[in-house]
Structure 1
């Protein structure tokens, strides 16, 4: 397996934050990343193909299972395990884990992994795309019950920022899809690089703010190890639950693969954008983003191996 340069850049951003935490303020990265978030979702709207999405509409069992695992099964699992996780890693990391559970699925990597594993690609495109749209509304609703307790903004303020930074750019992109959408698809590699750059800047900015506020002074290496173990186990549990339900629903092998991959993945793009919006005024923002980063690394590595093995089967 090749070393993922994006994952390395995330760790590098954290290291730079430890060495130069004041750099984010000097460079006005908060303002830059807010503009960047709007552009990310504008490009997302431009690239969203209605024709590709429409191809998978008939497979309703797969769609329902995928969206329920993304926005219901995972969050409820975290709620049930709150006493155990809070005791093990603390309330701040538990909020980060719940934030992770409420996020939508990753679009590009879900489709790539499903294609590699010989799953149902049209349905993967449909579910990953729809998940991103649903998440704009569902994620803050789930988090809303914890925002006041975590020192974040009110739910009204969160939705107002979501409308300005995400919904309006996304809608504008969708409206312009038929006219200039082909330009976005043609430059998808450059847009992906831009998305990743903004995420890296958000990670650096969030960790810089937390370090300047000494948020990590009470966090031990053991806490971080526990957090990684939890994230690793959650991923496998969710994969197993989704596969079990898909098997009971008697879905085809290709559909089971799609349900597992799309239903278990979480979007670091949405996570980075929404942590800036929902927890933007909180010095604990990096603590909430850390589980999302760990989960992203876990899902990329594990699914790359699983997809490669499944792809070698004879259909």
Structure 2
């Protein structure tokens, strides 16, 4: 049951914002730095994503379509169904954050790690996570506009301009300049990873500072937080069940089902936090709280599931395990070569 060290850093950043929130000129500087950090973050996303690999991944279109449907269709529908819990269990602000969580793209790194641990289709998990992140840059703000609207500072013309300037333009620039900066990004992947995480911490500090100054945290009680955790546990359980048995009903093989389950049931903290900062402004602190909690929950639960899947019997050399459909990876491999065990 792992505790993500980055979650501890995020919680420490929230504590710093609670004790020493940025005010006045400091708040203006932090806001400007946060804007630059978000732009840099999405520029690096664009520089890392190989266009050729993304196009090659289209061969596995049925698997990727299933993951995208889970991420941007099934999740939001469950979020809308949770509206009936307001105000009995969830406050309006927490529900807005929960609804935003359901439109965030899937993860990349943790989906790959758990798929590999469970001996699933790792290349498919890589492409599925990358596609979800790419699609989410456009789809997440549009879904937020439709489902959330102006609630909690949500979507507006000003937010649309910010999305284009802070997310789409830097990402497109990263793609266009990838030929020149791609080797540098690859060589310094570890160092730039700290830049990514540092940028997100800055976004969180700015958002929670604004929330503290405006006093919005007084609207959250321990009982509401407990109810939120219960609802998120139910949401995660439903998605893990739907992705596993739904993929079986669609006649995916074991390796593909593992990739679908881990990529289709998870939400990206790295993508969601900067987007929330752009969309919600001063209300971002409450908007990202459900996402931060869900992120840690999904890591803990999926780690247990991955270890259990690793003990499953493997298909025999002559064919798949009885009752399993042939893996789609055998018909349309994303990447050739043996998969890691």
The verdict on a shared fold, with TM-score over 0.5 as the criterion, is: yes
Q: Distance in 2 between matches of 1:119 and 1:113?
A: 9
Residue 10 in 1 paired to residue 4 in 2? no
Q: Distance in 1 between matches of 2:56 and 2:255?
A: 15
> CA RMSD of the aligned region, Å?
1.8
1:75-113 per-residue CA deviation (whole Å, 9 max, x = no partner) reads 011112211244311111111011000011112222222
Q: Distance in 2 between matches of 1:206 and 1:238?
A: 29
Task: Mark the runs of 5 or more structure 1 residues left unpaired by the alignment.
Answer: none
TM-score under structure 2 length normalisation = 0.86
In structure 2, relative to structure 1, the CA distance for the partners of 1:94 and 1:180 (3 Å cut) is same
TM-score under structure 1 length normalisation = 0.93
Aligned ranges for residues 171-182 of structure 1 at < 5 Å? 171-182=172-183
Aligned ranges for residues 271-290 of structure 1 at < 5 Å? 271-280=272-281, 283-290=282-289
Residue 233 in 1 paired to residue 234 in 2? yes
Greater mean alpha carbon deviation, residues 122-131 or residues 256-265 = 122-131
Correspondence for 1:142: 143
- Runs of 4+ that moved beyond 4 A: none
Q: How many residues align?
A: 312
SS in 1 for 2:58: coil
Q: Distance in 2 between matches of 1:59 and 1:101?
A: 24
Correspondence for 2:20: 20
Q: Distance in 2 between matches of 1:235 and 1:25?
A: 41
Correspondence for 2:110: 109
Q: Distance in 1 between matches of 2:257 and 2:263?
A: 10
In structure 2, relative to structure 1, the CA distance for the partners of 1:308 and 1:53 (3 Å cut) is farther
Correspondence for 2:60: 59
Q: Distance in 2 between matches of 1:250 and 1:48?
A: 30
Q: CA deviation at 1:21?
A: 1.8
Correspondence for 2:333: none
Q: Which entry has the higher C-alpha Rg, 1 or 2? A: 2
Q: CA deviation at 1:4?
A: 2.7
SS in 2 for 1:216: helix
Q: CA deviation at 1:296?
A: 1.0
Correspondence for 1:269: 270
Q: CA deviation at 1:285?
A: 1.5
Aligned ranges for residues 89-168 of structure 1 at < 5 Å? 89-145=90-146, 146-154=148-156, 156-168=157-169
